[in-house]
Amino acid sequence: MEQKNSPFDLHLLTDLAVESRNLTMQRTGQELEGVRLDEEEVEHAKITRIRVMNDRAAQAIGKKPGDYITIETRELQQGERQLHEYLSGVMAKEINTLVNYPGLTKSLEQEPTILVIGLGNWNATPDALGPRVIHHLLVTRHLYDAAPADARQGMRPVCALAPGVLGLTGIETAEILKGVIDKVHPDLVIAIDALAARETHHLASTIQISNTGIYPGSGVGNQRIGITQEDMGVPVIAVGVPTVVNSVTIVNDTIDKLMQDQNIAGTKMQNRLQQINDKQKQQIIQQVLQPYLGDLIMAPRGIDKLIRDVGRVIAGGLNIALHPDINQENVSLYLQ
């Protein structure tokens, strides 16, 4: 979530595949070819699994081919610990479906080495989710290496890094990671990042898990290297939660709502309103948001606490997914 491209390309203002898909469908008005959708309601949460099946579909919705799972739940925002433990369990189950994806050469039973990356800036609250997860995560690789083979039962070698952001280190995050991966040789990388959403109801209430990697600082981005299987040489699972909505989105949505408003529907006014072209829209957005424009973010008032809570839920989910002896009942006992 480091920095964003043009504030006016709304497609780039969301990191959620589920929003990209809905946005595209609204525009085209029809089902997307090459995008498979599967929705499941579980207790306290709705799970949506999107598979982008080919490059044409990827182009259409602006997300790379692969799997995108979103867990939407109101409960993440509530302070209730017991529900948080439950959500960690739900998340662990979905992680495990991706971990067993063909890309991974070792199954979890073969005790692969897993490197968890906490992306983002620990000095910027809405961007601190990744480092926060690392803070709570159970790290075991150094103990695993020291333990005799039969004592390793039920232990997986997990290591972790919060590399910081370009502004703090002067080094591209992907460069740091590539260097560390070349030394540590993990079998799988799991990268955690705070995301941007377009819809406010997704804030701190949606977990997205994907196997397509991540480009720190952009949606599809133009950086030289990404945290992807191609660039890193190992499978990458990305886990993210939206913590901000770009303010440009809100202004844009307000104009759109006016255009579609029932109370003035079909009137000449709405017809004309719909003729406001993109350039006029941008002028209005600029007038409302200057001098900040793309750098003004919207977040829930209690964002500091939400980041802490969500960080714990995700660290718990990873602990359950990665260590056979940890489950929903005892997950709180292992949070660092």
Is 141 an interacting residue with respect to a copy of itself (CB under 8 A)? yes
Instruction: Tally Cβ neighbours within 10 Å of residue 306.
Output: 23
Please pick, from the candidates 255, 282, 324, 327, the single residue that binds a copy of itself as defined by CB under 8 A. Answer: 255
What is the nearest approach in angstroms of a copy of itself to the Cβ of residue 228?
16
Is 167 an interacting residue with respect to a copy of itself (CB under 8 A)? yes
Look up tokens 């969301």; give the residue.
14
Are 207 and 239 a contacting pair, CB within 8 Å?
yes
**202-231 positions binding a copy of itself, by CB under 8 A:** 203
Are 98 and 229 a contacting pair, CB within 8 Å?
no
- The whole-angstrom separation of Cα 82 and Cα 44 is 12
- The whole-angstrom separation of Cα 83 and Cα 120 is 26
Please pick, from the candidates 183, 224, 266, 278, the single residue that binds a copy of itself as defined by CB under 8 A. Answer: 183
**88-127 positions binding a copy of itself, by CB under 8 A:** 123-125
Stretch that binds a copy of itself, among 18-26, 177-185, 210-218, 310-318 (CB under 8 A): 177-185
Site string for a copy of itself, 267-296 (x = CB under 8 A): xxx-xxx--x---x--xx--xxxxxx--xx
Stretch that binds a copy of itself, among 5-13, 30-38, 56-64, 172-180 (CB under 8 A): 172-180
- The whole-angstrom separation of Cα 52 and Cα 37 is 9
Is 168 an interacting residue with respect to a copy of itself (CB under 8 A)? yes
Classify residue 329 by its DSSP letter: T
Please pick, from the candidates 88, 211, 247, 328, the single residue that binds a copy of itself as defined by CB under 8 A. Answer: 247
Please pick, from the candidates 166, 191, 238, 314, the single residue that binds a copy of itself as defined by CB under 8 A. Answer: 166
| Residues paired with residue 117 on neighbouring β-strands, in sequence order | 161, 191
Stretch that binds a copy of itself, among 13-21, 46-54, 134-142, 147-155 (CB under 8 A): 134-142
Is 182 an interacting residue with respect to a copy of itself (CB under 8 A)? yes
**2-41 positions binding a copy of itself, by CB under 8 A:** none
Look up tokens 């959403």; give the residue.
197
Please pick, from the candidates 162, 195, 232, 314, the single residue that binds a copy of itself as defined by CB under 8 A. Answer: 162
- What DSSP line would sit under 101-126, residue for residue? STT-SS-GGG---EEEEE-S-TTSGG
By CB neighbour count within 10 A (0-12 exposed, 13-18 middle, 19+ buried), where does 142 fall? exposed
Q: Which amino acid is at 78?
A: Q
3-state secondary structure of 141: helix
What is the nearest approach in angstroms of a copy of itself to the Cβ of residue 66?
26
Q: Which is nearer to a copy of itself, 56 or 305 (CB)?
A: 305
